[in-house]
Amino acid sequence: MMFDREQLVVEISRAVLARLRQRQAAKPAPGKNRWAALLDSPEAAKIKDEIVRVGYKLWQRQYADGNGGNISYRLTEEAVICTPTLVSKADLRPEDLVLVDLEGNRLAGITARTSEILLHLAIYRAVPQAKAIVHCHPPHATAYAITGRVPPTGILPEFEVFVGRVAIAPYETPGTQEFAETVLPFIQGHNTVLLSNHGVVCWANTPTRAEWYAEILETYCWTLAIAQQMGAPVLTIPADKVDELMDIKRRLELHDERAAGTASALCVPDSSAAVVADALPTAAGAAPLGRDEIESIVSSVTQAVLEQWEAG
C-alpha cells in the first residue's frame, strides 16, 4: 500500500504520538527514581506475586527451612528482582522483594537482598536464556549433595525430560564470589546443579518452572531412596526409549547436552559415577587421590558405562 504526502504525515504523527505516550507512561512518579518505579511497575508486580507464591511452596514442601533458600527473576538486562535476606519463605510479601543490578548492588527496595545473590548473577551472566532461579535445600536431593553423588539417569521419563543429568559443584562458603563461581563449569549443559554440602540450584524461564525442577529432582531422589530399600535391582529405560525422550526434550526446547548425540551412551546407571574427583571435596582428614587413582576410577566407570550401554 502506498501513502500520499498527507497520509504519510498522518501516520508519522500517530506513531510519534504513540511513542510519546509510551514514554510518558514509563516516567517515574514524582519523587521516585527509575529503579523504584520499575520495582513498582505492573510487570514487576506480577513477578513479585509469583515469587511470593513460589516461596510459600518451597516452605510448604520443606525445601527451605528457617530463612533458607532464595528466588530471583531477571526483569531487564540490567536489573534482577530477588528475595531478601533473613526472611522465611513462608512469610514473604511483595514489598519485601529487592531490585539489584548484575553486580549485586541494591537499586530499589526497603530490605537487604539475599546474601547468595552472587550465585544467581553468575548464572544470569553465563546463561542468557535463564530468566528465573530457585535455590533451596530439598532433603533427599541434598542427601546426594552431602555424599558427593549425583542421581542416576535413564529411570523415570519425567526426570529425563525436564531435568536430565545433574551436575555437582564443589563446596565453597555460601554468599561468596568463590561460591558463585563453583557452578560455572556446569551450567551450560544443565538446568539443575547440586551444591556440595549445601543444596540445589535450578533455573528456567519463570520462577514457577524453576521451582518445578526442584520438585522433580527431589521427588526423583526420594523415589530412588525408597527403591534402594526394596532389595531389588532398579529397572532402567531401554536405550532406544531414552533417545525418544531426548526427541521430546528437543521439541520442548529444553537444553540437554545428551540431545546433541545418542542419549543412551550418556546415561549414568549408578549414582556413584560422579567421577569428577578433582572437583569434589575430600573427606575430612583423608589424603587427596593421586593422579593414578583418579585415572583408574575414570577408566573403571567408563568401562561400566560402556558395558551397560552394550547390554541395552
In the sheet with 70-74, reading across from the earlier edge strand, the strands are: 106-108, 98-100, 80-82, 70-74, 132-136, 199-204, 192-195, 167-169
How far apart are alpha carbons 46 and 158 in whole angstroms? 28
Give the distance, in angstroms, between the CA of residue 42 and the centroid of all CA atoms in the same chain: 25
**DSSP string across 91-109:** S--GGG-EEE-TTS-EEE-
Q: Tell whether the torsion through CA atoms of 236, 238, 241 and 243 is positive or negative.
A: positive
161-185 confidence digits (pLDDT tens): 999 999 999 999 999 999 999 999 9
- Pairing relationship of beta strands 132-136 and 70-74 according to DSSP bridges: antiparallel
Lookup result for grid cell 536430565 = 164
Q: Global pTM?
A: 0.74
Among 28-32, 50-54, 192-196, the range scoring the smallest mean pLDDT is 28-32
Q: pLDDT digits over 217-262, tens only?
A: 999 999 999 999 999 999 999 999 999 999 998 888 787 766 665 4
Handedness of CA 123, 124, 128, 133 (dihedral sign): positive
Q: What angle do CA 109, 114, 115 make, to 5 degrees?
A: 130
pLDDT above 70: residue 296: no
